[in-house]
Amino acid sequence: MEGTSLAEVWQDVFQVQSAPPPWLVIAMGVVALAVVLVRGPWRIARNVVTIAHEGGHALVAVLSGRTLTGIRLHSDTSGVTVSRGRPDGIGMILTVAVGYITPSLVGLFGILLLLDNRITALLWLSIVILAAMLLLIRNVYGVVSVVGTGAVVFLVSWFTPADVQAGFAYLFIWFLLFAGVRPVFELQAQRRRQPSPQSDADQLDRLTGVPGTVWVFFFGLVNVAVVALGVWLLLF
């Protein structure tokens, strides 16, 4: 980023960049898919999915009129968002239901910015969201995770040339798009191996009377549909 004054930075952030070559878009998609499928990289990158997941809970909690208490992110890539309000009702149902579909939906929103070639704007919007979320984090690991993610995005957006920014942005969005699917399979595997009444699906079971397995299927269906739409938008 070349701007030094606030006005120049603002202009740089919202200017339209040149569209990257198709091979770069495809290559970043392949890399992102590999990160999701390979255990080692996935174990690290899954922290980003947890941030998006808990961020979705937090946003809908606020929009539905609940009082947000805080967010905790854990080293095992789990997380919890605590809010106060009615223990049932549509607000609580939506708050719990949105977590597993948020990463894919964020990826889809990012695609809309990329298709308009607003690459730097996408990166800086991510930084702003992470900064807002940081105010809600209530544990040390969560702070490290959010600050670390934000620092990587900032360094790329500030110090790298446009083609590197484009590659990173497409990698980031491809990853969110694909990464929404794997946690749904992990959720169902965990429910079979070690049932927990605190999982999102089982909370929704108690709130709605609809079996948790149906909710897992719903999460998976939404995320797969979003992936299909995202692939079509980016490649066709």
Whole-number pLDDT of residue 10: 65
Q: Is 21 left (phi over 0), alpha (psi -120 to 50) or beta?
A: beta
pLDDT in tens, 52-86: 999 999 999 999 999 999 999 999 999 999 999 99
Residue 168 above 70 pLDDT? yes
Q: Is 156 exposed, middle or buried (0-12, 13-18, 19+ CB in 10 A)?
A: middle
Whole-number pLDDT of residue 3: 55
Banded pLDDT at 1 (limits 50, 70, 90): low
For residues 73 and 139, the answer to whether their CB atoms sit within 8 Å is yes
Banded pLDDT at 9 (limits 50, 70, 90): low
pLDDT in tens, 197-226: 889 999 999 999 999 999 999 999 999 999
- Give me the mean pLDDT over the 100-119 stretch: 96
Q: What is the pTM of this model?
A: 0.94
- Between CA 158 and CA 66 the distance in angstroms is 36
Q: Give long-range contacts, CB 8 A cutoff, 24+ apart: 35-40.
A: 35/175, 35/179, 36/175, 36/178, 36/179, 36/181, 36/182, 37/182
In order of 2, 122, 164, the CA distances from 6 in angstroms are: 11, 18, 23
pLDDT in tens, 22-54: 999 999 999 999 999 999 999 999 999 999 999
Whole-number pLDDT of residue 60: 97
Q: Per the structure block, which two tokens stand in for 208? A: 């709605």
Provide the mean pLDDT of the chain: 94
For residues 32 and 49, the answer to whether their CB atoms sit within 8 Å is no
- Name the phi and psi angles at 73, rounded to 5: -115, 135
pLDDT in tens, 173-200: 999 999 999 999 999 999 999 888 889 9
pLDDT in tens, 129-146: 999 999 999 999 999 999
User: Within its chain, how far is the Cα of 158 from the centroid?
Assistant: 22
